[in-house]
Amino acid sequence: RKEVEQDPGPFNVPEGATVAFNCTYSNSASQSFFWYRQDCRKEPKLLMSVYSSGNEDGRFTAQLNRASQYISLLIRDSKLSDSATYLCVVISYNTDKLIFGTGTRLQVFP
């Protein structure tokens, strides 16, 4: 079983739609959580960190449920430019290496 699991998609949604991605992690010692965005044939870039209290950045909301070992990302009012792969990432206690999920591909159409 992979340490971080995501539905690979693709998710095809119209502009303006709300879409949610989920991610589960298996290591209960995981202590830091992130969502990265990766465009086709580009490097991953940090989208947002995920905190236990939940956090919001504009149209993006991330939530963490430590009891269920579950992370989510909600995108409201989808734009064409949101089309990308969204990578769920965790860091375990006392390490610095990022553990990535396979990514979920989002395609927003006009």
Decide: is 46 part of the binding site for other proteins (CB under 8 A).
yes
Instruction: Considering only residues 3 through 42, tell me which ones interact with other proteins, judged by CB under 8 A.
Output: 4, 8, 42
Q: Among 44, 50, 84, 90, which residue interacts with other proteins (rule: CB under 8 A)?
A: 44
Tell me if 95 contacts other proteins by CB under 8 A: yes
Report yes or no: 107 and 83 within 8 Å, Cβ to Cβ.
yes
Q: How far is the CB of 13 from other proteins (least distance, A)?
A: 21
Contact between 22 and 72 (Cβ < 8 Å): yes
Q: Are 84 and 37 in contact (CB under 8 A)?
A: yes
What the block records as the tokens of 27 is: 């290591």
Binding site for other proteins (CB under 8 A): 4, 8, 42-46, 87, 89, 95-103
